[in-house]
Chains A and B, each alone.
Chain A
Amino acid sequence: AQKITQTQPGMFVQEKEAVTLDCTYDTSDQSYGLFWYKQPSSGEMIFLIYQGSYDEQNATEGRYSLNFQKARKSANLVISASQLGDSAMYFCAMRGRRTGGGADGLTFGKGTHLIIQP
């Protein structure tokens, strides 16, 4: 079965510090994709970063980077130089074959509520 685990329900971080949000996953697929989304209080899911299972280098997008450790099945999100506007829910997700279903659509974790303090 495909599963995403985010063990940090909430985090408080000082502005300008770096943040690491944890994500571990479980899948029997060899080919899969890992995603991070940000969900501010407005409710819209905002795509941040993507890592393919065969990508050898960690993905980076501006202040976001994905620390991909395939053997440990972890895909942590690192936010450098945090800003007040980074306060939001963050979801880790995976695309791959779901139990009893297809390989389209994403399986999401429960999320981490990140609060940046001034």
Chain B
Amino acid sequence: GAGVSQTPSNKVTEKGKYVELRCDPISGHTALYWYRQSLGQGPEFLIYFQGTGAADDSGLPNDRFFAVRPEGSVSTLKIQRTERGDSAVYLCASSLGRGDTEAFFGQGTRLTVV
């Protein structure tokens, strides 16, 4: 597709379960970002990939959160032992390169932990 694609659009999981959220960036975009948006808040930076490597993971809240981008395109955000506080919309964005002024966002995955 032409834009950033995120799947699933909605995910409901039980507390303590493991979840994976997928992001398919725009073809050719080397920079990929994950953000988390809680209700009534702006997005909060989680992690940035340049190519296959996580160039900045300083926003990951704890070691239950992990993300990969093994081939430099699709990225997966993984959350272990989910907690109710992890409920939020997880947004992915991509841009042509590092420092590019315009990043394109997907429509997000709404995660609900019950």
> Measuring CB to CB, which residues of chain A are less than 8 angstroms from any residue of chain B?
4, 33, 35, 37, 42-47, 50, 52, 91, 93, 98, 100-102, 104-111
Contact = CB atoms under 8 A, between A and B. Distances in A.
Given A110-B41, A110-B42, 20 more contacts: A42-B107, A43-B107, A43-B108, A43-B110, A46-B105, A47-B103, A91-B43, A98-B59, A101-B58, A102-B56, A104-B56, A104-B98, A104-B99, A105-B45, A105-B56, A105-B59, A106-B35, A106-B43, A108-B42, A110-B40
Contact of B48 (A43, A50, A102): A102
B91 interface: yes
Given A44-B108, A45-B91, A50-B102, A108 B58 contact: no
Contacts of A100: 58
Most B CB within 10 A of own CB, among A52, A91, A104: A104
A91 B58 contact: no
B59 A44 contact: no
A47 B102 contact: yes
Nearest to B31: A104
- Name the interface size band of chain B: 20 to 34
A74 B101 CA distance: 19
B111 interface: no
Contacts, number: 68
Contacts of B50: 104
A97 to B, nearest CB: 10
Given A42-B107, A100-B58, A102-B48, A109 B42 contact: yes
B101 A50 contact: yes
B106 A44 contact: yes
A111 B97 CA distance: 26
B104 interface: yes
A105 B48 contact: yes
Contacts of B43: 45, 91, 106, 108
